[in-house]
Amino acid sequence: MPTQLQTAIDHLSRAQRVVVFTGAGVSAESGIPTFRDDLTGLWARFDPQRLATPEAFLADPELVWGWYEWRRARVGQVQPNPGHTAIAQLERHVPQVCVVTQNVDDLHERAGSTRVLHLHGSIQSPRCHDCARPMQIPLADLDQLGDGQRMAPPRCEDCDGPARPGVVWFGESLPEQAWQSAWPEVQKCDLLLSVGTSGAVYPAAQLPQLALEQGAVVVHVNPDPIAVSSERELSLVGRAGEILPRLMEGL
Ligand code: BJW
Ligand code: ZN
């Protein structure tokens, strides 16, 4: 009886088109906190309604901007981990690989993945809240940025509107191009590898189910076992930085 890991390796070695769908868990071992983990997740200490909605930004721009600048600085200081590297290496073994990430960091790109779609935007790309003009904002010193440090957002040269982070908040639409590109990738893939996501946030969370409905194999990688509903769905229990390199070694 093959192990789940060996079964996943067998499917991967036959796959022609793979989508790697990632969430905060893939960056956890780089030192970026997830959102919903009970003790270490960002939402354990911060209220999403006060930080990750357009209403929150309008109510208290200094609170929200300071929190995101702290996170932007943090992303700039950390490195891709073996999970990101293994995902990039998949391109050597599978003809077509597309990474569809909910993460706002750039660790997949820095690890060497060449096709990455960001469904929830990028923390590195602030823009004007009022006119959407991209803004170049030098990064403040992380040591001076406490995780709850208030900071006034810089103003736009064109319209004097406040800078906002280039991420997707609750109630906002996903970037059209990324979403419109991700959907056909998932429809056409023969295997979707879902790594480090709670599957709590829509519409991104539909993608593994869509892949299953289209006949693909879906492989979950998560320290929390994921409930599976189909013979074509596998749950590999463990951390991305451990499981993904073992998957690659088997190819
Ligand atoms: C490891 C690990 C290791 C740990 N290795 N794994 C009901 C039905 C359908 C939709 C809705 C609904 N009610 C409301 C909605 C809409 C809403 C939504 O989904 N809400 C849910 C809470 C229900 N969605 C939206 O608003 C979206 N827009 C939209 O729908 O537009 C249309 C619309 C417009 C107007 C009204 C209604 C609809 C936008 C969603 C934007 C999400 N934004 C955030 C914040 C981004 C900015 C920022 O970074 O601050 O995106 S929320 C946050 O969650 C972030 C993440 O990308 C996202 C997903 O989280 P993720 O990645 O799964 O992280 P965690 O922490 O949840 O899970 C980590 C996992 O890793 C865990 O499983 C761990 O076990 C695991 N792990 N260590 C591997 N080492
Ligand atoms: Zn502007």
User: Which parts of the chain have pLDDT scores under 50?
Assistant: 1
d(CA 197, CA 102) in angstroms, rounded, equals 9
Atom of ligand 1 nearest to the CA of 83: 5
Q: Which atom of ligand 1 is closest in space to residue 196's alpha carbon? A: 6
Within-domain flag for 209: yes
Q: Would you state the pLDDT for residue 147?
A: 66
Q: Is 120 a catalytic residue?
A: yes
43 and 64 within one domain? yes
Ligand of minimum distance to the alpha carbon of 124:
1
**CATH number, residue 93:** 3.40.50.1220
Is residue 11 domain-shared with residue 69, that is, in the same domain? no
Ligand 1 lined by 120 (C-beta under 6 Å): yes
Instruction: Tell me whether residue 169 is in a domain.
Output: no
- At 146 the pLDDT is 65
Does residue 203 form part of some domain?
yes
User: Is any ligand 1 atom within 6 A of the Cβ of residue 24?
Assistant: yes
248 and 137 inside one domain: no
- Closest-lying ligand 1 atom to the alpha carbon of residue 23: 62
Asked if residue 211 belongs to a domain, the reply is yes
- pLDDT value for 145: 65
Give pLDDT, residue 40.
Answer: 75
CATH code for position 38: 3.30.1600.10
218 burial via Cβ count (<10 Å: 0-12, 13-18, 19+): buried
Indicate if ligand 1 lies below 6 Å from the C-beta of 28.
yes
Q: Are residues 91 and 183 in the same domain?
A: yes
Helix (H) or strand (E) holding 20: strand 17-22
Domain extent for 243: 1-31+79-122+174-251
Question: How many Å is the maximal CA-CA distance in the chain?
Answer: 65
Same domain, 193 and 244: yes
11, 108, 118, 120: the catalytic one is 120
Question: Residue 182 domain-assigned?
Answer: yes
pLDDT in tens, 113-124: 999 999 999 999
Task: Count the domains in the chain.
Answer: 2
Contact in structure between 163 and 127 (CB atoms under 8 Å) = yes
What pLDDT is attached to residue 46?
79
**Confidence (pTM):** 0.96
pLDDT attached to residue 142 = 63
Q: What is the dihedral of CA 110, 226, 38, 125, to 10 degrees?
A: 30
User: Which of 170, 180, 244 should be mutated for ligand 1, with most atoms under 8 A from CB?
Assistant: 170
- 46-80 pLDDT per residue, tens: 787 778 999 999 999 999 999 899 899 999 999 99
Provide CB contacts within 8 A for 87, sequence distance 6+: 20, 22, 26, 99, 108, 111, 113, 193, 195, 244
Structure tokens at 152: 């006034």
Same domain, 68 and 133: yes
